[in-house]
Chain A
Amino acid sequence: MTPETDTYLPPSDELSAPWWDATREHRLLLQQCTACGHRQHHPRYVCTRCGATDLGWTPSAGNGVVDTFTVVHRAPRAGVETPYLVARVRLDEGPVLLTNLVEVEPRDDAVSIGTRVTLSWRDLPDGRALPVFAPEGDA
């Protein structure tokens, strides 16, 4: 649960611009290889499965499981209030995202590996949004 007071604004670039634009409408995209169908995150200039460089985008349904997690008790920068949950979430489509878990107490016993989670959004001040995840059925 990284708080509203965090002023970090992620950069974007020509490769990731469509991904970030979709977040303005709270849509989570995954990069998909037009040659072999492989889906990957974060966006890259090449398919890590087949080496093709012609890549498109496909929407994610936003459901997955907690792959692993940590409760962070010391902030890496000013403006981040502790504690908060950082997790790897494995989407049902396959790719893994680094994210925050929200709408759950930032305690080790409040979440487990394998917990089903669903997509939520944290709006950024410039109109973009960060995909974060909450335990299923809790929202």
Chain B
Amino acid sequence: MTGIALVGAAECDLGKTGRSVLELQVQAVTRALADAGLTLADVDGLATNAVGRFSTTELADQVGLRPAWVDSSFVGGSAFEAYVARAAQAITAGQASVVVVSFASNQRSAKSRSLGGLLEDHLPAAQFETPYAPLYPLSYYAMAAQAYLHRYGLGREHLAHVAVSARDWALRNPKAFRYGAGPLTVDDVLGSDMVSSPLTVADCCLVTDGGGAVVVTSLERARDLAKPAVRLLGYGECTDHTNMSTLDDVLDVGAARAGRAAFARAGLTPADVDVAQVYDSFTITPLLSLEALGLAEPGQAGVLAALGEFGPGGSRPLNTAGGGLSYCHPGQYGVLLLVEAVRQLRGECGDRQVAGAEVALAHGTGGILSHHATVLLGVDR
């Protein structure tokens, strides 16, 4: 348990916006503050990245703030779950009182995404990986998927069901990129163009603009605001390998360590989670994460996917906004996991609302299973 709460949550414009990163950032920040019933004048802490080399100073300058605390750790799409943890610590320690955690990207409009990733000549991968032409990060997840299916005797259809469930949720979310696209079938996924086996185009997340923000403050202050507070119950993280050959076992996923720390801090067990938002960069990613987090037994996440348990009406609602696979994936998706978790706990999700959701898990994954961060949230009782 912590004495911290999330009090605001919002998306910036999503999809293909034609807008700049700074404009989308300002949308995210101001909308989340409006959702919280706060203004920029209340903010004294800022956490973001990917604005520029000096992300927090750029954003602070843009919105006219001189924050007492900032964080721009660059660890991949899981950064935002980690920022919430750091914000909680800063608020508890008295260094900040209201922190905005934000992200925005215009990668679809700007066509800035490359299959090969970004080459940094001075790092080991340029010598020991790039010559072999893996797609980055896709081929690493593909190799993890191959190992997962082999170890547990599962097939590509088990992966495909993850994309099918994500689409089913997206059909209930008007903001989802695939909202009007109609249902996806297992055969659709299996028949899509192979990119890096066993993953097809339909096993891979969208490439969209988008982002969002959440506002973090003390539970005490949260209880004076108009909307119900969402309590921060626990958090944990794990930094892991960044080279494709480093890890001895590709299925030894660092989410296990992040999850253990988060559940211990919260005094909860995986069975207490009512709704899970788990980073789905690829269909394999949430399967590996769910098992590592203890939300499924080893080898069983794929089986649960095939039974439809992750979709609407299933026993383990997962990625209820439609996920990175069918809702929005702006490059670093982690902030949107938090936005949806907050909305589910407030009962704001309309057609996709999970009835009676009291505990939500948001779990981010960065890089090539390189960084893992878990946040547990709950209704304020």
Q: List the interface of chain A (C-beta within 8 A of B).
A: 2, 6, 8, 10-13, 16, 20, 41-44, 67-77, 80, 84, 86-88, 95-100, 108, 112-113, 130, 132
Contacts and interface: CB of A to CB of B under 8 A. Distances in A.
Given A11-B121, A42-B243, A88 B115 contact: no
A107 to B, nearest CB: 9
B265 to A, nearest CB: 29
Given A76-B115, A96-B248, A70 B129 contact: no
Interface stretch (B64-72, B93-101, B141-149, B338-346): B141-149
B132 A2 contact: yes
B195 A73 contact: yes
Interface in B105-137: 114-117, 121-122, 124, 126-136
Interface of B: 114-117, 121-122, 124, 126-136, 139, 142-144, 146-147, 150, 193-199, 243-248, 250
Nearest to A86: B134
Given A70-B143, A73-B195, A113-B147, A41 B128 contact: yes
A8 B250 contact: no
B134 A76 contact: yes
A4 to B, nearest CB: 13
Given A73-B196, A76-B116, A96-B245, A86 B127 contact: no
B135 A72 contact: yes
B136 to A, nearest CB: 7
A133 B195 CA distance: 22
B142 to A, nearest CB: 4
A100 B134 CA distance: 9
A42 B242 CA distance: 12
A113 B146 contact: yes
Contact of A84 (B121, B129, B133, B142): B133
Contact of B136 (A16, A76, A100): A76
A98 B244 contact: yes
Nearest to B132: A100
A41 B245 contact: yes
Given A44-B124, A98-B243, A132-B132, 13 more contacts: A8-B130, A10-B130, A11-B127, A42-B128, A70-B197, A73-B196, A76-B136, A77-B133, A84-B133, A86-B132, A95-B245, A96-B245, A130-B132
Contact of A70 (B128, B130, B142, B246): B142
- Give the 10 A-B CB pairs with smallest separation, nearest first: A76-B116, A70-B142, A71-B197, A68-B147, A68-B143, A42-B128, A96-B245, A10-B127, A98-B245, A42-B124
A113 B198 CA distance: 13
A70 B127 contact: no
Contacts of A16: 127
A75 B245 contact: no
Contacts of A13: 122, 127
B245 A86 contact: no
A44 B122 CA distance: 13
A6 B146 CA distance: 26
A80 to B, nearest CB: 5
A86 B133 contact: yes
A113 B150 contact: yes
Q: Which of A10, A13, A84 has the most CB of B within 10 A?
A: A10
A73 B245 contact: no
Contacts of B132: 2, 86, 98-100, 130, 132
Contacts of A6: 133
Contact of B133 (A68, A75, A95, A112): A75
A98 to B, nearest CB: 5
Contact of B114 (A71, A72, A76): A76
Contacts of A108: 197-198
B129 A98 contact: yes
Contacts of B150: 68, 112-113
A77 B131 CA distance: 11
26 contacts: A2-B131, A2-B132, A6-B133, A10-B126, A42-B128, A68-B143, A68-B147, A69-B143, A70-B142, A70-B196, A70-B199, A72-B133, A73-B193, A73-B196, A74-B195, A74-B196, A75-B133, A76-B115, A76-B117, A76-B133, A80-B133, A86-B133, A97-B245, A99-B132, A108-B198, A113-B150
Contact of A42 (B127, B139, B146): B127
A16 B246 CA distance: 17
Q: Which of A11, A70, A132 has the most CB of B within 10 A?
A: A70
B95 to A, nearest CB: 33
Contacts of B147: 67-68, 113
B4 to A, nearest CB: 36
A10 B194 CA distance: 27
Nearest to B114: A76
